[in-house]
Structure 1
Amino acid sequence: MTAPFTCRVITDVSELAALAPEWWELWRQSPTATPFQSPAWLLPWWNNLSDGDACVLAVHFDRRLVGLAPFYCERRLRGRFARLMGFPVTDYHDFLIAPKLEEPILALLSSRLADVGFWDVLELTEVPPDAHALRMAVPPGCDVTSACASACPVLNLPGTPDELPQILPPRKRRALRTAHNRVARRGSLQVKAADRNSAVDIFELLVALHRHRWNSRGEPGVLADSRVQQFHRDALPDLMAANLLRLYLLQIDGHPAAAYYGFMHRNQAYGYLTGFDPAYAFESPSVVLLEHVISESICEGAHKFYFLRGREPYKYGWGARDSWNECRVFHRICVDSHDIARQA
Structure 2
Amino acid sequence: MTATYAARPATFARPPLTTQLLTDDMAFAALAPAWGRLHRRCATATPFQSHAWLHSWWQSYGRTGRLRVLLVRSGRDLLAAAPLTLTRLPFPALVPLGGTVSDYGDVLLDDADDGRALAALTDALWTAARTTLIDLREVRAGGAAERVYDRWPGPRRRVPDSLCLELPPVPMDELLTRLPSNKAQRVRAKLRKLSALGVTRHTAGPGEAEAAVARLLELHRLQWQGRKVTPEHLRPRFKEHLVRAVEPMVRSGDAVVTEFRIGEEVVAVDLTLLSPSLAGGYLYGAHPSLRERKADVAVILLDACAAHTAEGSHGALSLMRGDEPYKHHWRP
The TM-score by the shorter chain falls in which range? 0.7 to 0.9
Whether 1:103 aligns to 2:120 is no
Whether 1:211 aligns to 2:217 is no
3-state secondary structure, aligned to 1:192: strand
Q: What's the offset of the Cα at 1:145? A: 2.3
Which whole-Å deviations, capped at 9, do the CAs of 1:166-206 have from their partners, x for residues lacking one?
A: 34443542332342454456x42222111123222221221
Aligned partner of 2:36 in structure 1 is 24
Q: What's the offset of the Cα at 1:238? A: 1.0
Aligned residues: 316
Gaps of 5+ in 1: 321-344
Greater strand fraction, Structure 1 or Structure 2: 1
In structure 1, what is the Cα distance between the partners aligned to 2:277 and 2:79? 23
Q: What's the offset of the Cα at 1:124? A: 0.6
Give the letter for the 2:77 counterpart: R
Whether 1:191 aligns to 2:204 is no
Which protein has greater RCO, CA pairs closer than 8 Å, 6+ apart?
1
3-state secondary structure, aligned to 2:26: helix
Q: What's the offset of the Cα at 1:253? A: 4.0
Give the letter for the 1:149 counterpart: D
In structure 2, what is the Cα distance between the partners aligned to 1:114 and 1:293? 39
Alpha-carbon distance change, 220 to 102 in structure 1, aligned in 2, over 3 angstroms: same
In structure 1, what is the Cα distance between the partners aligned to 2:43 and 2:156? 27
Whether 1:175 aligns to 2:186 is yes
Whether 1:130 aligns to 2:113 is no
Give the TM-score taking structure 2 as reference length: 0.85
Whether 1:258 aligns to 2:271 is no
Alpha-carbon distance change, 285 to 131 in structure 1, aligned in 2, over 3 angstroms: closer
Which whole-Å deviations, capped at 9, do the CAs of 1:55-88 have from their partners, x for residues lacking one?
A: 1111112332111111110223x43121011111
Compare 274-283 and 309-318 and name the one that shifted more. Answer: 274-283
* Contact map agreement 1:82 1:119 (CA 8 A) in 2: no
Alpha-carbon distance change, 9 to 197 in structure 1, aligned in 2, over 3 angstroms: closer
3-state secondary structure, aligned to 1:216: coil
Give the letter for the 1:166 counterpart: T
3-state secondary structure, aligned to 2:270: strand
In structure 2, what is the Cα distance between the partners aligned to 1:292 and 1:111? 43
Alpha-carbon distance change, 145 to 268 in structure 1, aligned in 2, over 3 angstroms: closer
Q: What's the offset of the Cα at 1:3? A: 8.3
* Contact map agreement 2:280 2:305 (CA 8 A) in 1: no
Same amino acid, percent of matched pairs: 27
Which whole-Å deviations, capped at 9, do the CAs of 1:198-221 have from their partners, x for residues lacking one?
A: 222221221111111222314355
Q: What's the offset of the Cα at 1:244? A: 1.7
3-state secondary structure, aligned to 1:174: helix
Aligned partner of 1:57 in structure 2 is 70
Q: 2:323 aligns with which of 300, 311, 329?
A: 311
Alpha-carbon distance change, 269 to 236 in structure 1, aligned in 2, over 3 angstroms: same
Q: Following superposition of structure 1 onto structure 2, how do residues 259-298 of structure 1 map, counting pairs within 5 Å?
A: 259-266=269-276, 268-281=278-291, 282-298=294-310
Give the letter for the 2:113 counterpart: L
Q: 1:66 aligns with which of 75, 79, 89?
A: 79
Give the root-mean-square deviation of aligned CA atoms.
2.6
Aligned partner of 1:148 in structure 2 is 160
Aligned partner of 1:339 in structure 2 is none
* Contact map agreement 2:46 2:277 (CA 8 A) in 1: no
Gaps of 5+ in 2: 1-13
* Contact map agreement 2:32 2:51 (CA 8 A) in 1: yes
Whether 1:86 aligns to 2:98 is yes
Alpha-carbon distance change, 79 to 288 in structure 1, aligned in 2, over 3 angstroms: closer
